[in-house]
Amino acid sequence: MADDEVLLERHGAVARLVLNRPEKRNPLGPGFSAAMHRALDIVEADSGIAAVVLTGNGSVFCGGGDVAEIMSPGPTDLEREFGLIRGYNRVVSRIYHFEQPIIAAVNGPAVGGGACLAMACDIAIAAEGGRYDFAFGRIGLAGADMGATHLLQRLVGPMRAAHLLFTGGSITAAQGRDWGVFVDVVAAAELLPAADRIAASIAAQNRPATAITKLAMRRGCDLDFDAALEYEAYLQSFAFRTEGHKTRLTAFRNRGARK
Q: What is the pTM of this model?
A: 0.93
- Per-residue DSSP letter, 26: S
Nearest of 89, 129, 93, 135 to residue 112 by alpha carbon: 135
Confidence label for 69 from pLDDT (cuts 50, 70 and 90): confident
| 3-state SS, residue 15 | strand
28 and 66 Cβ atoms separated by less than 8 Å: yes
What percent of the chain is predicted at pLDDT more than 70?
Answer: 98
Give the model's pLDDT for residue 218. Answer: 93
How many Å apart are CA 102 and CA 163, to the nearest integer?
A: 27
Domains and CATH numbers, the chain: 6-203 (3.90.226.10), 207-258 (1.10.12)
- H helix runs in the chain, sequence order: 32-45, 78-97, 113-119, 148-156, 158-167, 173-179, 191-203, 207-220, 225-239, 243-258
Contacts of 217 (CB under 8 A, 6+ apart): none
Q: Is the pLDDT of residue 167 over 70?
A: yes
81 and 46 Cβ atoms separated by less than 8 Å: no
Confidence label for 25 from pLDDT (cuts 50, 70 and 90): very high
Q: Is the pLDDT of residue 217 over 50?
A: yes
Q: Is the pLDDT of residue 1 over 60?
A: no
Q: Which residue has the higher pLDDT, 4 or 83?
A: 83
Q: What is the overall mean pLDDT for the chain?
A: 94
Give the model's pLDDT for residue 259. Answer: 66
Rounded average pLDDT over 211-220? 93
Give the model's pLDDT for residue 2. Answer: 45
How many Å apart are CA 221 and CA 206, to the nearest integer?
A: 23
Q: Is the pLDDT of residue 49 over 70?
A: yes
For 50-61, the pLDDT digits (tens) are 999 999 999 999
CA angle 64, 50, 35 (to 5 degrees): 35
183 phi/psi in degrees, rounded to 5: -75, -25
Q: Is the pLDDT of residue 68 over 50?
A: yes
